[in-house]
Structure 1
Amino acid sequence: MPSVTESSEPSGAHLFFESFDGTPIGFRRIGTGPPVVLVHGSGGGSRSWHPVAERLADSFELWLPARRGYAPSGPGRSPKGFADEVGDLRALADRIGRPLHLAGMSYGATVALHAAAAGLPVLSLVLWEPPLYAAGAELLPVLARFEELTAHGDRRRADRLLAEKVARLPAAFVDLMDAGEPAADVPADKPSDAPGWCRDLESMAADTSDVERWSGVTAPVLLMRGADTWQPMPATLDRLAAALPEVTLTSFPGQTHFAPSVVPDAVAAEIDRFLARLSHAPSVDA
């Protein structure tokens, strides 16, 4: 396997490691300090963490894996389960070889909870709006329809399906998607996130929406949310906060699920304060 090298930008070339089942997992590593693994959500890949990561790289060593199913990582087996995601994180943790903090965005936050519950030794969890309500066999028809639409190249209707049935955006938001201009042609060299979405839907369909199971996660948790995020996310996060033994709940006024991209300075500052307090690293000014 290639040795780990530093890159000054999140957009630097990926390195790879072989996971527990032979799946190649691509990752980037930037910054210096206590190690923090940033787990991305569904769609967007590890790029979704970049606006926040570039603001944390002066204080922490950041590891940004591309989850299986998302380029340049391999697809892995199908159907995928959260145990596969945990196995990938365990292989990465073994490579890092030091105690680490684990941060997850959206679906990636659900992955982080599974990893902690499975015994991955983490110093803390940083969670941005895990969609724990999106689980169970009711998602199997959504998966089948998503595969059908993307196979026919109808990504616009596929995205609407995800918005309605997975993210559960309010009808007004979904209507705005239809009212907007059609998306520009995707560059030929840009990999599709459809395979990753399919594998993520497999994991969610095999999971449960039970929140009480996370009461066994004893690591300190920073649970972040947008104050204007739509239901059922707020109610779900309230239940999660009540179940976790040690949790700091932070809300960002005027923001929704997309705050890490919209206000990355504020999100990075909150993460920095939380992790610096735990790891005794110097905190940057908000």
Structure 2
Amino acid sequence: MTQNTTGGTAAAPASTTTTTGRTARGDRITADVRGSGPGVVFVAGAGPFRAVDPITTRTAELLADAGTTTVVFDRLGRGDSPAPGRLDLDRELDAVAAAIDLAGGSAVLCGHSSGCAISLRAADQGLPVTGLVLWEAPLELGAEETRAWAAEIERRMDAGDLEGATEHFMKDMPPEWLAGAKASPDWPAIAASVVSQRADAQALTWATRALADGGLAGVPVPLLALTGTETFPGMPEAAARLAAAVPEGSAETLAGAEHSWDPEPMAARLARFVLA
């Protein structure tokens, strides 16, 4: 159940193996695995998967060339990781554990956006996580506000109102993002995929509460909170709070804009973190 693609020149990226893993609950995840060395697993936020995320793919290629094993996987209910039923946080954490297995049994987690909260919860729950690199964790809102936001998303999902759930998930994002999504011919598919974001909403509810009440003090691994040089209001402050909330935390700014990073400097910074 694997497919191998190997670059043809010395300057080409490390070879890529597209493979599958199984979670403890029997869900299947599909992942691209590259390189050899300490493991790094990329945990996407709301929406992205391998086929539509060239930035993460390029970062993983560069990082694999630096001497690591990188895993980019489709989260449950996305891309090539189909999963019916209720995709809650516990089920997603099982998928993260399966991705860590593909990385060699332990890994640094690189979370993006709400994937940061899932990564934090994975470390908190004792998964074999060796470090956390978190890009623009959206923890700027208060715990109660986040809880109410997440509860409304789940209410709309459970009522079958997937478009409404998507709109509510995106309500605090730049309005042009939602307008662009609704104007796209892919809008029905975008709305249908919101079922995979229940885990994001639940993880953000937990993370904002843990950030407020000191619950992150037990996170047992080094954490690097990153924000882009061009970012949204509140993100740098949230990164600083996050770094201060864990025993081994730091916060930095790195090249990036529109809630995303530049692959080359991100890969270089990840390599320093992982190989230190």
Return the TM-score normalized by structure 1: 0.74
Distance 1:257 1:130, change over 3 A: farther
Shift of 1:107: 1.6
Q: 1:78 corresponds to which residue?
A: 86
Q: 2:147 corresponds to which residue?
A: 136
Amino acid in structure 1 at the alignment position of 2:259: F
Q: C-alpha deviations, 1:95-114, integer Å up to 9, x for none?
A: 54443222111121111111
The answer as to whether partners of 1:129 and 1:223 remain within 8 angstroms in 2 is yes
Q: For 1:163 and 1:147, locate their aligned partners in 2 and report how far apart those are by CA, in whole Å.
A: 18
Percent sequence identity over aligned pairs: 26
The answer as to whether partners of 1:136 and 1:207 remain within 8 angstroms in 2 is no
Task: Give the SS at the match of 1:265.
Answer: helix
Q: C-alpha deviations, 1:85-124, integer Å up to 9, x for none?
A: 2222223334544432221111211111111111112222
Return the TM-score normalized by structure 2: 0.76
* Structure with the bigger percentage of strand: 2
* Structure with the bigger percentage of helix: 2
Q: 1:266 corresponds to which residue?
A: 265
The answer as to whether partners of 1:6 and 1:29 remain within 8 angstroms in 2 is no
Q: 2:224 corresponds to which residue?
A: 222
Unpaired segments of 5 or more residues in structure 1? Answer: 279-286
Q: 2:210 corresponds to which residue?
A: 210
Amino acid in structure 2 at the alignment position of 1:123: T
Q: For 2:240 and 2:220, locate their aligned partners in 1 and report how far apart those are by CA, in whole Å.
A: 17
1:64 correspondence with 2:72: yes
Task: Give the SS at the match of 2:272.
Answer: helix
Amino acid in structure 1 at the alignment position of 2:271: D
Unpaired segments of 5 or more residues in structure 2? Answer: 8-12
Q: For 1:162 and 1:138, locate their aligned partners in 2 and report how far apart those are by CA, in whole Å.
A: 8
Which deviates more, 87-96 or 117-126?
A: 87-96
Q: C-alpha deviations, 1:113-154, integer Å up to 9, x for none?
A: 111111112222111122235641332223445788975xx6
Shift of 1:76: 5.0
The answer as to whether partners of 2:34 and 2:69 remain within 8 angstroms in 1 is yes
The answer as to whether partners of 1:69 and 1:199 remain within 8 angstroms in 2 is no
The answer as to whether partners of 2:123 and 2:219 remain within 8 angstroms in 1 is yes
- The root-mean-square deviation of aligned C-alpha atoms, in Å, is 3.6
Amino acid in structure 2 at the alignment position of 1:124: G
